[in-house]
Amino acid sequence: MELHQLRYFVAVAREGSMTQAAASLFLAQPTLSIQIRKLEQEVGAKLFERLARRVVLTAAGEAFLEHAERALDEMARGRERVEAVVGLREGRVSVGVLPSVGAYLLPAVLAAFRAEHPKVAVRIVEHDVPRDFEQLVHSGELDMAVTRMPATLAGLGSRTLVREPVVALLPPGHGLRGRADVALSELADEEFVCMRSGYGLRELADQLCDGAGFTPRVVLETGQLSIVHGMVRSGVGVALLPRLAATGAEHVVPVSDEQARRELGVVWRRSALDSPPVAAFLDRLLAAVERAGETAGEPAVRRRGTRPTGCEAGAAAE
């Protein structure tokens, strides 16, 4: 059964005449008659009774008319919804973000996007394990995620947003608090306050310490970034955090080691960019980070168009 057959059937029912219905549909009458007969064969019943000068619905035709009209109405509404999504008058976007990043990177992006596209719903999902984000994007549970780079799964596009320095959070009275910077090796004998194993921030701290030739002496582990800040303020130990995650800390000293950086980026499922709301949000995110980087005088992403591709993005390995 074809949609055009339903349209022809409804037109004949409304006109009560094959001739008039054919004229309204800009069809030859024989063509219309053939299509109506095919429809009757498919439903297994006569839909019209042919009289001398007109046609009338049979009982089967009357029963079928309501459903045919409803199907055409639903199809029309479906087209309207598609046009609304394409025109960004409605739709949805799901974005994953690391908790240590979301509060600082996304508010301005969300405000600007909502101002431009108020009917598009944005869902933000926070998660502490960067690699889980890749799987959530790859599986379709998320459209994109702001997470640590590099991305590793096939089928994902990615682009670096910012390379932020790592800083040392130091407790009151610590001997290094007056320094312009500190080397990782100078923290080898310190007691550390860290996020629990499995968290991205813990993985980063462990990697940096290992690269500097020591294993951190962890005296407290937690799943809350605010507790890390509070324990350092209370003198429990020191902490290593990316600059965004250290926002609000009382005293931080930049880490001078070249490798002491966290590379943040956005990963997206390439097929998700077929959705205009997703493509528009990604473009807004890249534009916001570019402006922020230029203002701060730091390396910033460079957009090459409104629809980033894997080639442009240094996409995930395939």
Residue of 318 and 1 predicted with greater confidence = 1
Which of 23, 55, 86 is at the close of a domain? Answer: 86
> Which CATH number do you get for residue 141?
3.40.190.10
Q: Would residue 212 count as lying in a domain?
A: yes
> Which CATH number do you get for residue 44?
1.10.10.10
Per-residue pLDDT, averaged over 190-218, amounts to: 94
pLDDT digit string (tens) for 100-158?
777 777 888 888 888 888 888 899 998 777 778 888 999 899 999 998 887 777 788 89
Q: Report yes or no: 260 and 186 within 8 Å, Cβ to Cβ.
A: no
- Are 167 and 247 in a shared domain? yes
- Are 154 and 294 in a shared domain? yes
- Are 123 and 269 in a shared domain? yes
- Are 147 and 116 in a shared domain? yes
- Are 149 and 130 in a shared domain? yes
Percentage of residues in the chain with pLDDT exceeding 90?
A: 48
| Number of domains within the chain | 3
Residue 162 pLDDT? 83
Distance CA 24, CA 65 (A): 18
Closest by alpha carbon to 213, among 193, 241, 185? Answer: 185
pLDDT-derived band at 232, boundaries 50, 70, 90: very high
Per-residue pLDDT, averaged over 270-280, amounts to: 88
Residue by residue, what is the 3-state secondary structure of 157-191? Answer: EEEEEEEEEEEEECCCCCCCCCCCCECHHHHCCCE
Residue 187 pLDDT? 97
Which of 66, 86, 106 is at the close of a domain? Answer: 86
CA 172 to chain centre: 41
Residue of 186 and 315 predicted with greater confidence = 186
> Domain range for residue 20?
3-86
Which of 133-147, 247-261, 286-300, 304-318 has the lowest average pLDDT?
Answer: 304-318
Residue 76 pLDDT? 78
Residue of 68 and 127 predicted with greater confidence = 68
Counting other chains too, the contacts that 15-21 makes at CB distance below 8 Å and 24 or more residues apart are: 16/54, 16/55, 16/56, 17/53, 17/54, 17/55, 18/55
Residue 252 pLDDT? 92
Q: CB under 8 Å to 224, separation ≥6 — which residues?
A: none
Q: Would residue 120 count as lying in a domain?
A: yes
Q: What is the mean pLDDT of the chain?
A: 85
pTM of the complete model: 0.63
Residue 302 pLDDT? 44
- Are 169 and 150 in a shared domain? no
